[in-house]
Amino acid sequence: MKELEREILIIGAGPAGISAAIEAAKAGAKVTVADEHDTIGGQLYKQIHKFFGAADNHAGMRGFEIARKLEQEAKELGVEFWLNTVAYGIFKEGVGIVRDGDNFIVKAKKVIVAAGGIENTTAFPGSTLPGVMLAGAAQTMTNIHRVLPGKRMVVVGSGNVGLIVAYQMLQAGAEVLAVVERDDHIGGYGVHAEKIRTAGVPILTDTIIKCASGKTSVEGVTTVKLGADGAEIAGSEQEFNADTVIMAVGMAPLTELLWNIGCRFEFIGELGGYVPVHNEFMQTSVDGIYAAGDITGVEEASVAMEEGCIAGIAAASACGHISAEECSARCASHIDALAVLESGEYDGERSAARAKKLELYKASEK
């Protein structure tokens, strides 16, 4: 098979991958970023809301604007982008790539995997009907292709993604009849919840979808309340005249590439499932393979960017562009930033989860 050589290959052009590319290029490395999409930015590309997080990481800007800014910076530094390009496996021989119908192996000195996450689903009677979709699909249709997927919607899940999708559907002109949440409290930030409550959307906690019905697509949705024992409360059903159900029930790290090359994993529920263990420089248990962003645990763009910066600096250093001391010095501010980002009432467990990954990495080194 055809082989190509590259110095640093980054898989995924989301905020983590582009940040890694920028820092590695700044350190003097030659960098190539591959992404299966036709647009740079990962999740950011379909986000039209203003981002939370540190102003230093462009919070306050809208997602797609952050993506454009990062893209421009990377291109000015000479980073090579391969779009419509799938990395299908990492092998001892190199990274398997399919690009423009061409199939080849990339031999890279260092590989940074920044593949992001994948949405979870939930099942209920009627959940296979057309009109039931994931939040990402609703966002892609509405925010990118400007096609509203329906007129009257019920959103499942009150995490930040569910709350934001509900708000975006309202902005696009749909009616959001309710957001339903299985827990007894709202999962996402209060400020996001307030936006949709102010628009008159109820958030129904302790509630699930009992079923969606319709002949060829969704024509109605029935919800039901759950008691303290988790069982459905008979008679608490509510009918909604909805034509669309949007699921926003969490995300999981997209880790196949790292399993495939034999990285060590640990199950950490707060981070979305099995995550690769890594050291503070984002190096996984397999030498030369780094990971950054949602793939190391589903968090947020600010965290993804900081992790990307660290991985980029470390990979460039490992290629010999900067010394180990310089690497530590450049990474220090990003490592500090992670500690700050992973605090606050929503994030207390995440810094513990990060510590656990680092500890397990150390243990596996021995």
Partner 1 sequence: MHDGILYTGVPNRQELKNAPGIPAADSIGAGGTAFIECLQTIACNPCEANCPTGAISIGAQISNRPVLDAKKCVGCGTCVSKCPGLAITVIARKRDDATTVLSLPYEYFPLPSAGDTVAAVDREGRFVCDANVLNVKPMSAHQSTSVVKIEFPEEYTFKVKSINTFHWRSNNG
Residues near partner 1, by CB under 8 A: 49-55, 59-62, 65, 170-171, 173, 175, 184-186, 189-201, 203, 205, 302, 340-347
How far apart are the C-alpha atoms of 22 and 11, rounded to whole Å? 14
* Minimum distance of partner 1 from residue 303's CB (angstroms): 9
Cα–Cα distances in angstroms (integers) from residue 317 to residues 20, 168, 275, 288, 313, in the given order: 12, 42, 24, 11, 6
Return the number of the residue (277 or 305) whose C-beta is nearest ligand FAD.
Answer: 305
Structure tokens at 236: 């608490």
Nearer to partner 1, 203 or 295 (CB): 203
User: What is the smallest separation between the CB atom of 55 and ligand FAD, expressed in angstroms?
Assistant: 12
Pick the closer one to partner 1 by CB: 59 or 105: 59
Contact by Cβ (8 Å): 261, 90: yes
Which does residue 312 bind out of partner 1, ligand FAD, none, counting CB within 5 to 8 angstroms by kind? none
Q: Which of residues 149-188 bind ligand FAD (CB under 6 A)?
A: 160-161, 164-165
251: tokens are 């995300």
Q: Which is nearer to ligand FAD, 24 or 164 (CB)?
A: 164
Q: Which of 8, 29, 115, 263 binds ligand FAD (CB under 6 A)?
A: 115
Residues 6 or more apart whose Cβ sits within 8 Å of residue 101: none
In angstroms, what CA-CA distances link 96 with 59, 108, 183, 240, 302?
Answer: 35, 11, 42, 48, 29
Residue 142 phi/psi, 5-degree rounding, is -80, -50
Q: How far is the CB of 366 from ligand FAD (least distance, A)?
A: 29
Q: Tell which positions 270-309 bind ligand FAD, by CB under 6 A.
A: 293-295, 299-302, 304
Rounded to whole angstroms, the Cα distance separating 259 from 264 reads: 8
Helices (H), the chain: 15-26, 63-76, 135-139, 160-171, 190-198, 256-260, 301-318, 324-341, 348-365
* Residue 55's binding partner out of ligand FAD, partner 1, none, with CB under 5 to 8 Å set by partner kind: partner 1
Q: Which residues bind ligand FAD (CB under 6 A)?
A: 11-17, 34-37, 42-44, 47, 51-53, 86-87, 114-117, 135, 160-161, 164-165, 254, 257, 293-295, 299-302, 304
